[in-house]
Amino acid sequence: MMKRSTFARTALATLLALAVTPLPAADPDMPARGPVPFSSFDADGNGQVSQEEFNRAHTERLQQRTRSEKQYRYMGNAPAFGDIDSNADGGLSREEVQAHQQQQRETRQQQYQQRQQQMYQERMNMNSPGGMGSGQGGGRR
């Protein structure tokens, strides 16, 4: 898991690069949200994503969100290159990107199910005898 200070440095470096580096035209395949297709990462089409290509795609996504004036609430959850490079060879293969995206989907699904279970439990506690919703001293007077 990436530390906040590492993320802050990465975000700052990305923003500085954004300010001084002209970017190519926007990738029409770059979605505004959700997983980024491998082809959007692999700018040179060689089947391997370098850290530079990864950073360029990340910066483009940030620019796209900024242009659309949508808040990028989950920017802190964006994976770092090293989070995806499972074999630490300095490049991302299609399989590594897909495996990481699948793992992210599964994690989000588990978190959603946990939130649903927690909300269900809270509702049950509110409606149980002696709970706040029962009128037994838990409500306003």
Identify whether 136 is part of a domain: no
Q: What distance in Å separates the CA atoms of residue 26 and residue 63, rounded to the nearest whole number?
A: 9
Identify whether 140 is part of a domain: no
Q: How many domains does the chain have?
A: 1
Domain holding 29, by residue range, is 4-127
Check: CB of residue 92 under 8 Å from CB of residue 84.
yes
Check: CB of residue 118 under 8 Å from CB of residue 125.
no
Identify whether 137 is part of a domain: no
Identify whether 139 is part of a domain: no
pLDDT band at 50 (very low <50, low <70, confident <90, very high): very high
Helix, strand or coil, per DSSP, at residue 136: coil
Q: Which residue has the tokens 């029962």?
A: 134
Helix, strand or coil, per DSSP, at residue 93: strand
Q: What distance in Å separates the CA atoms of residue 50 and residue 113, rounded to the nearest whole number?
A: 35
Least confident among 19-28, 77-86, 93-102, 106-115? 19-28
Query: Tell me: the pLDDT tens digits for 4-18?
Result: 566 556 655 554 454
Identify whether 90 is part of a domain: yes
What's the predicted TM-score (pTM) here?
0.60
Query: Tell me: the pLDDT tens digits for 70-83?
Result: 555 666 677 899 99
Identify whether 113 is part of a domain: yes
